[in-house]
Amino acid sequence: MAGFAKSIVIVLLVCAVFLITTNFIFFFPWYMTLAYETYNLSTLSAQHNYIDEDEAWMIIENLNKKPFFKENPISLGDIEGQFEPEVLQRGDQFSVTINAKYPIRMDMSFFKIERDWPVSFTVETTCLYFNKDLDPK
């Protein structure tokens, strides 16, 4: 009887390890998509010296179209950075951050785990636009 109990425990541990591994295998493409879109948003915002809301909505729509982000969609409140125009000058730096939640799901008939793991990706960007109105000379 002890051998049977050990075999059941081993099967359960193997299943748990398999499910955890599967979740983390799917994490890397999810995270790379988040990093790619954050880089795109920082590149677009560097041209204006601030994050334009229309461009932010375009990035949000791109992310929410992906199957990875359908369970926990991104909103405008998940983007952090410089949203105010005409504050920064060429050469100034600011951060662009997108916060998201990665869904961790494990279901073994009698044991179910559903958690959302908060993850963010930040890119430092340098302003490219020279605004004559902010020039001290």
Q: pLDDT tens digits, residue range 99-114?
A: 999 998 888 777 788 8
Measure the CA–CA gap between 132 and 9, rounded to whole angstroms.
Answer: 70
Strand partners, 98: 79, 121
Give the pLDDT score at 18. Answer: 87
Contact 45, 125 (CB under 8 A): yes
Give the pLDDT score at 88. Answer: 86
Give the pLDDT score at 137. Answer: 62
Q: For the whole prediction, is pTM greater than 0.75? A: yes
Angle formed at CA 52 by CA 85 and CA 93, multiple of 5 degrees: 60
